[in-house]
Amino acid sequence: MEFYEVVKTRRSIRSYKPTEIPKESMKRVLEAARIAPSGHNRQFWKFYVVEDPEKKKATAEACKGQMWIAEAPAVIVATGWKVPISRGGYMGDMTFTMDVSIAFTQLLLAARAEGLGTCWIGDFSNDAVKKALDIPVNEYVVAVSPIGYPDKGAFSENTKRKSLEEITEWI
């Protein structure tokens, strides 16, 4: 699929078919995250692929009870850990959130290119997700997304976006 078509048609999918994701597709999606840029190529990140039904349910509960998340064939949880640098002079040791977000965005776009749906979940309890998945104490959950084939709706261009002129200033 052409890159700009991927970008224009990526959507937040909240309903998934129970169809298993082929391992080769999942590996390509994870590879897109692995090769993402990070400050000084430190790659302070880890991606947990949750396929166990009970662990998916516990993860969904940790995402403020959004149980539809557990219906997807898998859930991906991206974590990072504190780094001894401070981007912009204000981010402090939580700078890793920028790098993990870049990698996670590449993961979501790769999923779309594979015909898979995702939904970046922002409403979760860091502690509850970590407890549900036995994630080490030094890691912080940055992003969660179910992943699978969309059950309802289709990928289409989102026309409910601000115009380029509204978000751009040439100086």
Please write the tens of the pLDDT for every residue from 103-160. Answer: 999 999 999 999 999 999 999 999 999 999 999 999 999 999 999 999 976 776 667 8
Q: CATH 3.30.360.10: does it fit domain 3-167?
A: no
Parse the chain into domains and list their residue ranges: 3-167
Say how many C-beta atoms besides its own lie within 10 A of residue 106's C-beta: 18
The strand pairing partners of 143, in sequence order, are 78
Distance from C-alpha of 162 to C-alpha of 159, rounded to nearest angstrom = 9
Q: What is the mean pLDDT of residues 161-171?
A: 91
Average pLDDT, the chain: 94
Grouping H, G, I as helix, E, B as strand and the rest as coil, residue 34 is: helix
Say if CB 49 and CB 76 are below 8 A apart: yes
Distance from C-alpha of 130 to C-alpha of 140, rounded to nearest angstrom = 8
pTM here?
Answer: 0.93
Please write the tens of the pLDDT for every residue from 72-96. Answer: 999 999 999 998 888 888 888 899 9
Say if CB 25 and CB 112 are below 8 A apart: no
